[in-house]
């Protein structure tokens, strides 16, 4: 699958290092690894703002759609329209829906149809693939 933003593995590593991304961000975003539950830096963050792709800055979620799913990963009920591409994932003997950034193809997590809101969705994301941008105070 081709995405608008393309880089080599070396360029992704350099970009993530320059951003001060956590060590596992490269393996999570570029090789679809999964962080262990309850270890991600955004799992219990409830601040206003938005969540962006750590690799390219694409806005993925409004913080207002975040909820505690009790699963150990940041969970959201709705993505920004067009921000995420869904791919059938048949790894580990399961059939799931993988979510990737629609701009750079970074692995974000998976989406499930067991969410508690009217969308019925639970976007289960890896903190290592996200960066939180707090709402800026306006005068």
CATH code at 97? 2.170.150.20
Residue 53 structure tokens: 């792709």
- Is the residue at 4 inside a domain? no
Query: 3-class DSSP state for residue 130?
Result: strand
Q: What is the dihedral of CA 92, 93, 95, 98, to 10 degrees?
A: 10
Mean pLDDT of the chain: 95
Distance CA 60, CA 99 (A): 11
124 is catalytic: yes
Give the pLDDT confidence score for residue 138 in this predicted structure.
Answer: 46
Task: Please state, as a whole number, how many other Cβ atoms lie within 10 Å of the Cβ of residue 115.
Answer: 20
Read off the pTM.
0.93
**Where in the sequence is the domain holding 32, given as residue range(s)?**
9-134
In a domain, 71, yes or no: yes
């Amino acid at each position: 699958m081709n995405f608008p933003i393309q880089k080599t593995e070396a360029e992704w590593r350099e970009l993530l290092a320059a951003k001060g991304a956590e060590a596992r961000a490269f393996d999570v975003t570029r090789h679809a690894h999964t962080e262990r539950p309850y270890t991600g830096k955004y799992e219990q963050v409830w601040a206003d703002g938005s969540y962006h792709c750590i690799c390219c800055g694409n806005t993925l979620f409004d913080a207002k759609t975040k909820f505690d799913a009790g699963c150990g990963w940041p969970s959201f009920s709705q993505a920004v329209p067009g921000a995420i591409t869904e791919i059938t994932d048949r790894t580990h003997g399961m059939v799931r829906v993988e979510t990737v950034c629609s701009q750079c193809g970074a692995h974000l997590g998976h989406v499930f149809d067991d969410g508690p809101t009217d969308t019925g969705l639970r976007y289960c994301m890896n903190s290592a693939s996200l960066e939180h941008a707090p709402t800026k105070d306006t005068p």
